[in-house]
Structure 1
Amino acid sequence: MFNKKSLVIFISLIIVLSTVVVGAEEKKFAGQFSKEEMWVNQSLDSYSEAPELKVLVDSGELPPVEERLPKVPRVVKSNIMADGVGEYGGVWRDTFAVPVASWNWGAQKTQGWFGINQIVQESLLVSGPMWMLEQPDPLPNLVTGWEWSADGKTLTMNLLEGIKWSDGELFTADDVLFTYNDLILNDNIPTFGSKEAWVYGGQQTELEKVDDYTIKWHFGIEKPVHAFYNMDYLDFAVSPKHVYKNFHPDYNEDASYDDFVNATPPDDLPLVTLGPWVPTKYEAGQQLVMVRNPYYWQVDEEGNQLPYLSEVRFNEVESGDIRTMNLIGGSADRTNLENPQTFSMVRQASLEEDAPFKIEFGPFGIGYHISMNLSRYLSVENDRDAELRELFREKAFREAVSHSISRDAIANVAFPGPLTQAWHGGYPSGSSYYDQNSVVKYEYNPETAKEKLASLGFEDTNGDGILNWPEDSKIAGDELVIEMMINQDQQASINAAEAVQPMFREVGIDLKVRLVSANNVATKVGGGDFEMYFNRLDSAIPFIQMELFGPFRNNSPDWHYAGSGGKRDLLDFEKEIQQIMQEARYVADAAERKEMFKKILNLYTENVYTVGVYEVRRGTGLHKRIRNWQPDIPPYMYNWTINSIPVQILYVNQEDQFETMFLDSIPTKKDYIERSWHLPLD
């Protein structure tokens, strides 16, 4: 129960948060443009470069800008720039809370998340900026275009000729084939991209090199439109073949797969990248520094080589919440507003007269839900593991869990205000695929929950309030104790789980909360080493990331991975979801796809695939000095904001720029000599 003081605080928070403006009344960019109005490939009469690069050209350390750019570079149109053509110079200040594991994204290693991966990785296509398109469809990135064959089974793609990696080496079809054939299709190498995602019509897709700048995809079925999303970040970030072939057993007889997976550790800098900035310095636990890429292959309409900003500095911290505190304090330029417990504080701080930042909130786009491990073949070490997995596979038990949770209490009391609300799972309600009539709700009703548990044979045999396993189970008489794994960096998940604990106890379940680091969460999910998992769902577009919503792959969803050899016993409704997902991959009509995903939403919620608890509006906090950030940009729609802007067009007016400190680390050819990939393996 609330005391009088708590009630006053609660009402005050509601008043403060009720003043939140969801979307500013400014120029709109959402759904406004054709692809050609966003960017084109075009040769311009002349090109300009940042002053610090001109110094290196004059000293002979870099070739002229015309030689560093493609003959026909990517020209980013001013249409998508909120403030127009920018100014060179200045620093972007950011924060991250996941240590750099490696620079080898081709071996499923993270560069620190929090926007870092998006900066250093480039893919064939991009989906992030699709929110600005009149007709959303993946945009060309490293390619200039594509064409289907008459039978629809061959897709010819033309690469943008003349793009160079940050060490000056040409990007060619060899890099693309290396990424697909030698990494994604290689069973010995873990990758973000999935081999099975490239199976269409029962056949593994084949990739052919026609020449250095032309490739052909050969599919087993006509026009699999979903394949375009396989070519996006994160699944098809192209790896530089000239760097990683030295560590690959197929190219170096002295190399092992362990050598490949462990290649380019965090201190192996500067990085070889196609991104706008190059990581050049990293002190673990302290700071990651990036400087502009001299060979970046994009320009603005006036011929200015992008990016505008000279440096990017990411300070490494222990928790993602510190990023928000840094923005409020004026020492950072951006944060994602996704942790409800900070919303009131951030809103109040933004209303201060001298607040250095502004905030914007979008639709409900984050869902918090409880998943239960349904796998019979991963990390089943004893009778208790086996019995729990079978229990989780019982619909009646999942219904009981749903009935035990007061969603309104959690959404409106634990996190008061208009930015949270009760949610029953599936897709967040802000998704264009959401359909309220397709959602089946198992509302809060502890008595019904108890009846469901009793129907499964559970009863409290010793009167301590906790149910005991039935006599016909392998652990008869043991108390019903369940461990819930939570990412320790998701404070909102922790708070909600703590609110759920007494609700579970009321119906006879002893819930134990286990906090796990972000890196260990990924390991435990991959190995099926968890019981329940309270997690955050970040995607609102199920067609793009089907693996988050069902058994689209062997390693999806997180709560039902396949065991060794792909062994998995899907529940009947899972088989239906899987079938619809597979069929949706070939449906070009968006309206027809949405109807298919309505059926998935119904199957998902009717069978309590996961237990939705509450959902949140996602927002963005931005320092007021940053220019070209579109005011109506969704914090997450098709991808994260760094990909959705795109980030290379951001700038700061000269009078608001902070002093650069690391321009002497801009890499040139000499900085890439005697690097690990040029040397014999130990």
Structure 2
Amino acid sequence: MMKKKTFTLFLMMIFLISSLAFAAERKFANQFTKEEMWIYKNLSSYSEAPELRELVEQGKLPPLTERLPDIPRVIKSNIMVDGIGEYGGVWRDTFATPVQSWNWGAQKTQGWFGICQVLHEPLVISGPMWMLEKPDPLPNLVTDWEWSEDGKTLTMNLVEGVKWSDGELFTADDVLFTYNDLILNDKITTFGSKGAWVYGGKQTELEKVDDYTIKWHFGEAFPVAVFYNMDYLDFSVSPKHVYKNFHPDYNSDVTYDVFANATPPNDLPAVTLGPWVPVEYKPGEQLVMVRNPYFWQVDEEGKQLPYIGEVRFNEVESGDIRTMNLISGVADRTNLENPQTFGLVKQATMKENSPAKIAFGPFGIGYQIEFNLSRYLGVKNDRDAELRELFRNKMFRQAVSSLIDRDAVANIAFPGPLTQAWYGGYPSGSAYYDENFVKKYEFSPTAAKTLLSELGFKDTDNDGILNWPASSRIADDELVIELLLRQDQSAVLDAVQAMEPMFREVGIDLRIKPATASTVDTRIPAGDFEAYMVRLDSAVPFVQMQLFGPIRESSPDWHRSASGGKRDLMDFEVKIQDLMKEATYEPSIDRRNEIFKEILKLSTENVYTIGVYEVRRGTGLHKRICNFQPDIPPYMYNWTMESIPAQILYVEKEDQFSPGFLNLIPTKEDYTNKSWQ
């Protein structure tokens, strides 16, 4: 026991020393204005990677000036730790979610783990906001915008001359297609939410002024939160020229099932506006991407980005393998999210010849249980109906909160300064978190048993499991709850296994139901679950209100509306909804902070979710990678790959690995005879 305590103390000291060393490095957080990060400007000259120049000389690609917009985005060296980069090399990464298709407009994933971030391009971008003095969405596919005097119209100017990776122009038609034909279409499931675009009771309308100018028309003045509807996933622009032929509104010979299954994983090369293009995918093995010849961003010297020519994502069964790959030197990046790996990672990176370095930030991950509160969505039988009513009873949620020994679960995950008990709401590293607004229903199995007894549950057959009251439609059935979780999140599984005997001690039979990410992504929107143990990654509720309350019909995940918007919000949920609506239009940062503290109080008082424990998130990086900001949060407004942004990363010539797939850089010929043509 003494040895274990000594080792734990040793690790705590090491983490503290690492944090101090980390703090001494150059800071990028909250340092810049938007213009100091990037601008849209025509430069006197441009240059490109040698492999692209060779394709131009062979007549397989147009000259660079014909591939770039007239006024490209110019990324400033201010945000580059090591300055202007060198071309070449390979970025090596890992993912654990199979590619579903390239049709992100139909809510299909391309593998997560940073892949989607480098493929999708939205109108505005929030990931790099952490570097702004005054965090606010940054322009991406739009250069600028302007509100009308009455605040009900927002005019946006698009970057002119941007081209998709197949050489087709990006225009306002792609934006209108994404909004009108995908997001607003009730027959298509999208990452974006139709309900999120309702202001003042009116559905927002999108007008095309010309090919590079659009106007948004709102039902209420100055909905300042709307910019976060235009970000990654919520408004990842889809190429109309690709997907209109699969869309029933444009092609009467197809169905919506055809659209949902368009461009499967083997339909390569994919069409993207991102810095790299997927060109080869072997399921269960590897996804390969190469530089996009038409990428529309450059550095201050006019060098077309990205610097790195090739990206390889090895497909594995668990995200933890990504971390093991980094410390063994065969991968370049990982997010440190699973507490069980922290000690191993730190010991490995302390070695003199370690290829990796790590850093930890504030508490930014929360592990919580979400009970399905919907009376309508996914209710198939009496058992479902009775469980939903039970979950809606605050006494039951309070009982569950009381039966969990949070300190024990946190210590099982990792003893020390990187984990701690958490009672829900927002992770304590959030700028919106205030301990004074948090109600804690602390560990007390006795209190839990009393509450369950008051709800009418008794162990009538003396087998240790409570039975439903005689007044219920499933009288005498045992109190069994199925807990859904993603099987690729091992920290969630470990926490649930630690809690299962705690539930059983008070008479609840908790059945653990691991499932693949794609299965979970299907079941949650359909309401096909009883309870869900999940990792909450966001600590910024203003940016992602849908993760914390009923701001949309499709949110939160644990209380979605059924068909026709049918949903019975509880009184405290109505208050949360009203506060979120107020925040949507509130320009004052101070007042928004007050609003979200009120929401924090309502959420924890009413045990909206069952917070279990929280974790400091870390980043691991191979030492050969340049331009990676030392104080970058693994996740704040978005994930690391967008927050850098990834196209500015590079590797010095002597540290580069030889690319193996540059012969697959797509040209016009590679995009002929495709499924959409």
Q: Quick one: distance in 1 between partners of 2:12 and 2:556?
A: 34
Alignment of 1:558-637 (within 5 A): 558-637=557-636
Asked if 1:8 is matched to 2:3, the reply is yes
Q: For each residue in 1:215-260, what CA deviation from the matched residue of structure 2 results, as whole angstroms up to 9, or x when unmatched? A: 1111111110011110000110111111111111222222221221
Question: How far off its partner does 1:262 sit?
Answer: 1.1
Q: For each residue in 1:420-468, what CA deviation from the matched residue of structure 2 results, as whole angstroms up to 9, or x when unmatched? A: 0000000000001111111000011111111111111112223332222
Q: Quick one: distance in 2 between partners of 1:207 and 1:527?
A: 29
**Corresponding residue number in structure 1 for 2:670:** 671
**Corresponding residue number in structure 1 for 2:417:** 418
Q: CA RMSD in A?
A: 1.1
Question: How far off its partner does 1:10 sit?
Answer: 5.2
TM-score, length of structure 1 as denominator length: 0.97
Per mean C-alpha deviation after superposition, the further-off stretch among 553-562 and 73-82 is: 553-562
Q: Contact 2:437/2:601 (CA < 8 Å) preserved in 1?
A: yes
**Corresponding residue number in structure 2 for 1:183:** 182
Which amino acid letter does the alignment assign opposite residue 582 of structure 1?
K
Q: For each residue in 1:19-68, what CA deviation from the matched residue of structure 2 results, as whole angstroms up to 9, or x when unmatched? A: 11234421000000000000001111111100000101111111111111
**Corresponding residue number in structure 2 for 1:133:** 132
**Corresponding residue number in structure 1 for 2:528:** 529
**Corresponding residue number in structure 2 for 1:148:** 147
Alignment of 1:136-535 (within 5 A): 136-535=135-534
Look up the SS of the partner of 2:108 in the other structure.
Answer: coil
**Corresponding residue number in structure 2 for 1:74:** 73
Q: Quick one: distance in 1 between partners of 2:563 and 2:579?
A: 25
Q: Quick one: distance in 2 between partners of 1:14 and 1:463?
A: 45
Look up the SS of the partner of 2:146 in the other structure.
Answer: strand
Per mean C-alpha deviation after superposition, the further-off stretch among 433-442 and 254-263 is: 254-263
Question: How far off its partner does 1:482 sit?
Answer: 1.5
Look up the SS of the partner of 2:224 in the other structure.
Answer: coil
Question: How far off its partner does 1:328 sit?
Answer: 1.1
Q: Quick one: distance in 2 between partners of 1:267 and 1:121?
A: 18
Q: 1:414 to 1:136 in 2, by over 3 A?
A: closer
Look up the SS of the partner of 1:389 in the other structure.
Answer: helix
Q: Quick one: distance in 2 between partners of 1:606 and 1:145?
A: 42
Question: How far off its partner does 1:667 sit?
Answer: 0.6
Q: Quick one: distance in 1 between partners of 2:460 and 2:407?
A: 32
Q: Quick one: distance in 2 between partners of 1:454 and 1:42?
A: 69
Q: Contact 1:10/1:416 (CA < 8 Å) preserved in 2?
A: no
Q: For each residue in 1:171-214, what CA deviation from the matched residue of structure 2 results, as whole angstroms up to 9, or x when unmatched? A: 11111111111111111111111111111111111111111111
Which amino acid letter does the alignment assign opposite residue 533 of structure 2?
F
Which amino acid letter does the alignment assign opposite residue 672 of structure 1?
Y
**Corresponding residue number in structure 2 for 1:58:** 57
Alignment of 1:629-668 (within 5 A): 629-668=628-667
Q: Contact 1:400/1:452 (CA < 8 Å) preserved in 2?
A: yes
Asked if 1:19 is matched to 2:14, the reply is yes
Question: How far off its partner does 1:8 sit?
Answer: 3.4
TM-score, length of structure 2 as denominator length: 0.98
Look up the SS of the partner of 1:291 in the other structure.
Answer: strand
Question: How far off its partner does 1:669 sit?
Answer: 0.8
Which amino acid letter does the alignment assign opposite residue 143 of structure 1?
V
Which amino acid letter does the alignment assign opposite residue 424 of structure 1?
Y
Which amino acid letter does the alignment assign opposite residue 430 of structure 1?
G
Q: 1:17 to 1:517 in 2, by over 3 A?
A: farther
Q: Quick one: distance in 2 between partners of 1:664 and 1:17?
A: 48
Gaps of 5+ in 1: none
Q: Contact 2:38/2:76 (CA < 8 Å) preserved in 1?
A: yes
Which amino acid letter does the alignment assign opposite residue 57 of structure 2?
D
Asked if 1:113 is matched to 2:112, the reply is yes
Q: Contact 2:75/2:299 (CA < 8 Å) preserved in 1?
A: yes
Q: Quick one: distance in 2 between partners of 1:269 and 1:138?
A: 32
Q: Contact 1:270/1:278 (CA < 8 Å) preserved in 2?
A: yes
**Corresponding residue number in structure 1 for 2:540:** 541
Which amino acid letter does the alignment assign opposite residue 252 of structure 2?
E
Q: Quick one: distance in 2 between partners of 1:374 and 1:582?
A: 21
Look up the SS of the partner of 1:527 in the other structure.
Answer: coil
Q: Contact 2:110/2:116 (CA < 8 Å) preserved in 1?
A: yes
Gaps of 5+ in 2: none
Look up the SS of the partner of 1:585 in the other structure.
Answer: helix
Asked if 1:89 is matched to 2:84, the reply is no
Q: Quick one: distance in 2 between partners of 1:463 and 1:190?
A: 47
Q: Contact 1:18/1:418 (CA < 8 Å) preserved in 2?
A: no
Q: Contact 1:17/1:344 (CA < 8 Å) preserved in 2?
A: no
Q: Quick one: distance in 2 between partners of 1:278 and 1:407?
A: 44
Q: Contact 1:18/1:417 (CA < 8 Å) preserved in 2?
A: no
Look up the SS of the partner of 2:676 in the other structure.
Answer: helix
Q: Quick one: distance in 2 between partners of 1:457 and 1:249?
A: 53
Question: How far off its partner does 1:412 sit?
Answer: 2.4
Q: Quick one: distance in 1 between partners of 2:413 and 2:251?
A: 57
Q: Contact 2:413/2:491 (CA < 8 Å) preserved in 1?
A: no
Q: Quick one: distance in 1 between partners of 2:513 and 2:270?
A: 37
**Corresponding residue number in structure 1 for 2:551:** 552
Q: Quick one: distance in 2 between partners of 1:381 and 1:252?
A: 35
Per mean C-alpha deviation after superposition, the further-off stretch among 382-391 and 581-590 is: 382-391
Q: For each residue in 1:260-309, what CA deviation from the matched residue of structure 2 results, as whole angstroms up to 9, or x when unmatched? A: 11111111111111100011111111111101011111100011000000
Q: For each residue in 1:485-527, what CA deviation from the matched residue of structure 2 results, as whole angstroms up to 9, or x when unmatched? A: 1211111111111111111122221212111111111112112
Look up the SS of the partner of 1:92 in the other structure.
Answer: strand
Question: How far off its partner does 1:383 sit?
Answer: 2.2
Look up the SS of the partner of 1:639 in the other structure.
Answer: coil
**Corresponding residue number in structure 2 for 1:39:** 38
Q: Quick one: distance in 2 between partners of 1:74 and 1:524?
A: 40
Q: Contact 1:29/1:630 (CA < 8 Å) preserved in 2?
A: yes
Q: Contact 2:339/2:413 (CA < 8 Å) preserved in 1?
A: no
Per mean C-alpha deviation after superposition, the further-off stretch among 642-651 and 451-460 is: 451-460
Which amino acid letter does the alignment assign opposite residue 173 of structure 2?
D
Q: 1:11 to 1:395 in 2, by over 3 A?
A: farther
Q: Quick one: distance in 2 between partners of 1:478 and 1:162?
A: 65
Q: Quick one: distance in 1 between partners of 2:63 and 2:667?
A: 13
Which amino acid letter does the alignment assign opposite residue 610 of structure 1?
T
Q: How many residues align?
A: 673
Q: Contact 1:433/1:598 (CA < 8 Å) preserved in 2?
A: yes
Q: Contact 1:10/1:413 (CA < 8 Å) preserved in 2?
A: no
Q: Contact 1:371/1:559 (CA < 8 Å) preserved in 2?
A: yes
Q: For each residue in 1:115-165, what CA deviation from the matched residue of structure 2 results, as whole angstroms up to 9, or x when unmatched? A: 111111100000000000000000000111001111111111111111111
Q: Contact 2:413/2:419 (CA < 8 Å) preserved in 1?
A: no
